[in-house]
Amino acid sequence: MIPSKASGLALLLSWQRILFTLIVSSLMTLLLSLGWQSGMPALVARVLPVGLLAMLAFGIFEQWPRRLPAWFARWVLQVLGVALIIPLSLFVIWVFSTEVGAPPFWGVQDRFGILCVAGMLFAPWIALAALVRQKDAFARHQALVFDLERSELERNAQAAKLHLLQAQRAMAAKRSNNLMPSCQIFVFSTCTCPA
């Protein structure tokens, strides 16, 4: 039997998701570092937490709420959650990382805008790609389950046919054994009567 799907924190914080998020965040950091003047540590300190929070939003809305209205698809909730967490998390990170007495972040070279636009541009598409991959894996899993069930049904049908043939052969053998003595008696009686 195929093991059940992980859920809860095991699904939310799986090593595959964390590794994927770290790789994508690193690639985004490298891409954004081309025009970044504040230094690489400041960029990493902003991009990496945003990526991890987007991963958490994706995972949370994958499992919660348990039931959604019929008109609202879960994938829409997941993509919206990822898209909305980007500007919110960047805002919180920027507020807490701006030094006291420094000008507000929205007045400094529009770095907030660059990160926000880049995150909102790429994160929903990455979430959609992850959803397509999940659906593909689920379809392959279902195909394997159906193949297994079909092969078990075919095996059961073959076993039933074999059992039926064995029963028919046993009944035929029993009938032939029951007919043989009566034929022998009949042959014996016909042979002895004329003499």
pLDDT in tens, 13-63: 899 999 999 999 999 999 988 888 878 888 898 899 999 999 999 999 998
Domain that holds residue 95: 9-151
Please state the pTM of the whole predicted model: 0.70
The answer to whether residue 73 is domain-embedded is yes
- Of the CA atoms within 13 Å of residue 114, those in its CB half-sphere come to 18
The answer to whether residue 163 is domain-embedded is no
The answer to whether residue 124 is domain-embedded is yes
**CA-closest candidate to residue 2, choices 114, 163, 148:** 148
The answer to whether residue 15 is domain-embedded is yes
Average pLDDT, the chain: 85
Give the Å distances, CA to CA, from 126 to 73, 81, 84, 102. Answer: 18, 13, 14, 34
pLDDT at residue 121 tops 80: yes
Number of domains in the chain: 1
The amino acid at 181: P
Cis peptide before 124 (omega within 30 of 0): no
The answer to whether residue 156 is domain-embedded is no
Quote the pLDDT of residue 89.
Answer: 95
The answer to whether residue 70 is domain-embedded is yes
The answer to whether residue 72 is domain-embedded is yes
